[in-house]
Amino acid sequence: MHKKGKIVGRVIGLIKPYMHFFVLSLICAAANVGLTLYAPILIGKAIDCMMGKGQVDMTLVIEIILKLGIIVLLTSLSQWLMSQCINKITYHTVKDIRMQAFERLENLPLKYIDSHRHGDIMSRIITDVDQFSDGLLMGFSQLFTGIITIFGTIGFMISINAKIAAVVIVLTPISLFVAAFIAKHTYEFFRAQSVTRGEMTAFVEEMVGNQKVVEAFSMEEKAKEQFAVINENLRVCSIKATFFSSLTNPCTRFVNSLVYTSVGIIGAFSALKGAISVGQLTSFLSYANQYTKPFNEISGVVTELQNAIACAGRVFEIIDEEPQKEDAQNATTFKTVSGDVSLENVAFSYVKERPLITDLNLTVRKGQRIAIVGPTGCGKTTLINLLMRFYDVQEGDIRIDGSSIYQVKRDSLREQIGMVLQETWLKTGTIRENIAYGKDDASEEEIIRAAKAAHAHSFIKRLPSGYDTVITEDGGNLSAGQKQLLCIARVMLNLPPILILDEATSSIDTRTELMVQKAFEQMMNGRTSFIVAHRLSTIKGADLILVMKDGHIIEQGRHEELLTKGGFYANLYNSQFSVS
């Protein structure tokens, strides 16, 4: 309950900027309830005006009818205005919480993204926020009017007959007890439902994105079985949550019927004794009905709010995640970078108990081409992650032109480095937008020049709309080689002083690769380049080859030198060109 209270407190904090709408909605709710509760008084008076034979006061009845008409109009107006205010509060609050979650997501260290299922993160920001919105919308609209109606009807009933009103007030705690009991049990079930829904979203997203692999290994049945397990868990969670929440209505209706019956019986005897008139009894029964109705609504609202709070808690978990380290207070920006890079006593591990890189030292001079080779898991990509500050070293330092990258703003650091990765990434949009990603002010001539340099111009011109062709998510309507060429063109457009090529031509055919290698030669001329390679034939011309194993540089030198040594690199190279 303590955790749930903190979540509610944070939701209230999000609502504070829209307090003027909140106050106005309360005023409208009070006006709406006041007018609604005044109507039974008028109806009771109208009934009393028509009780005696031949004693009907039509003048007063018509006057009452006109008043009722005005009340109906004013009630409708206040109801509409209250709904508008609640909509403003809800959708602005939801917009704010979703923006906070996405902004935090953009500012989280890659460690969080790498260690959490992407589908679950998506579910929190999209589905859970929607569920929160629905609960908040229903909660406000019914909670306001319900609470005011309860207190308003008590006031009106006391004004008619305090003794009968006391009966109603005595029976009230039963409804409150029922609502509290159900609320306590539904929260955990709705939270479990939300978590399981996130697991399902993550699994479906994983399967859709890798359906070719699933089919290639004939794992369709296995995928169905896994989905069936998650689906069954969601069914069980949902049934439990729905079962407890569905108890609300019948339980509170039973209490409400008990209250209404008690008022009817006691009121009838009071009318017979002349303590109240028939019109007042009619008004009292109407109030008893209106008094008990909000308990049904509020109990239903409590159920929705439990779901909303559970979903909000999952979103707040993202917002509360530790963001990546802020840039140093005195962080500077690079003005001009020549390209000298040095790693000094660097140590890093993804898991504290399993060291990966220890005491790594490396000095790279401006314009050098450094190839990094080694078996899978040796630390090649990790080294790139550290250079880009996707991860921070645990010990040691990395310097560019003598300046520690931890004393330079991240944006400034990454502006100096261009990356072409083995895994391509393209966003939904036009070819032009994808090439100019990171340089929105690029001219048409610059974009075409970059595409030509990457040997992408010819295939782009063959597309239905050329550079205006819209590609689907992650370039689904392009071949793997074409996607890689567009990623290369993206870097060609900016040409920073330091380049990182992580097996950048792995998805390109041999003929195209030869052309791209020529483009790379031109692109790398005078620039410091780090080339992560698996095909060793592509790095023969490197100024320095680093051979990594278990996070250490075990050999370094030029291609011919390393072959002459006959060590690990020579064995690795010969294994790729051995004839069986």
- Work out the average pLDDT over 136-151: 74
Question: Which residues, at least 6 apart from 341, have a Cβ–Cβ distance to it below 8 Å?
Answer: 362, 363, 364, 387, 398, 399, 400, 498, 528
Residue 361 contacts residue 546 (beta carbons within 8 Å) = no
Residue 51 CA to residue 49 CA, distance in Å, equals 6
> What is the sign of the dihedral through the CA atoms of 417, 419, 425 and 429?
positive
Token pair, residue 509, equals 């055919």
Residue 373 CA to residue 366 CA, distance in Å, equals 21
Q: What is the pLDDT of residues 405-455, one digit of tens each?
A: 999 998 888 888 888 877 777 888 888 988 888 788 888 999 998 888 888
Alpha-carbon distances of 348 from 323, 354, 387, rounded to whole Å = 19, 10, 12
Residue 358 CA to residue 11 CA, distance in Å, equals 46
Which residue stretches of 247-345 are H helix? 248-273, 278-319
Residue 503 contacts residue 423 (beta carbons within 8 Å) = no
Token pair, residue 92, equals 């602005």
Question: Which of 229, 521, 240, 499 minimizes the C-alpha distance to 372?
Answer: 499
> Is residue 104 scored above 70 in pLDDT?
yes
Which residue stretches of 49-161 are H helix? 58-106, 110-115, 118-123, 129-160
| Other Cβ atoms within 10 Å of 299 Cβ, number | 25
Per-residue 3-state assignment (H helix, E strand, C coil) for 346-386: EEECCECCECCEEEEEEEECCCCEEEEECCCCCCHHHHHHH
The reported pTM is: 0.66
Q: What is the pLDDT of residues 177-219, one digit of tens each?
A: 776 677 667 777 877 887 888 888 878 877 776 776 677 667 7
Question: What local confidence, expressed as pLDDT, does residue 396 receive?
Answer: 92
Q: Which residues of 8-31 are buried (b: 16+ CB within 10 A; e: fewer)?
A: eebbeebbeebeebbebbeebbbb
The torsion angles phi and psi of 225, rounded to 5 degrees, stand at: -65, -45
Q: How many Å is the Cα radius of gyration of the chain?
A: 35
**Residue 439 DSSP SS3:** coil
pLDDT confidence band for 540 (50 / 70 / 90):
confident
Token look-up 């909509």 returns 87
Token pair, residue 145, equals 């009017």
Estimate to the nearest angstrom the gap between the alpha carbon of 324 and the chain centroid. 18
Residue 198 CA to residue 67 CA, distance in Å, equals 54
Token pair, residue 233, equals 């868990």
pLDDT confidence band for 580 (50 / 70 / 90):
very low
Q: What is the pLDDT of residues 498-515, one digit of tens each?
A: 988 877 666 566 776 776
Domains (range + CATH), the chain: 89-319 (1.20.1560.10), 426-495 (3.40.50.300)
Tell me the pairing of strands 395-400 and 417-420: unpaired
> Is residue 542 scored above 80 in pLDDT?
yes
> Is residue 497 scored above 60 in pLDDT?
yes
Q: What is the pLDDT of residues 15-39, one digit of tens each?
A: 888 888 888 888 888 888 788 877 7
Which residue stretches of 508-551 are H helix? 510-524
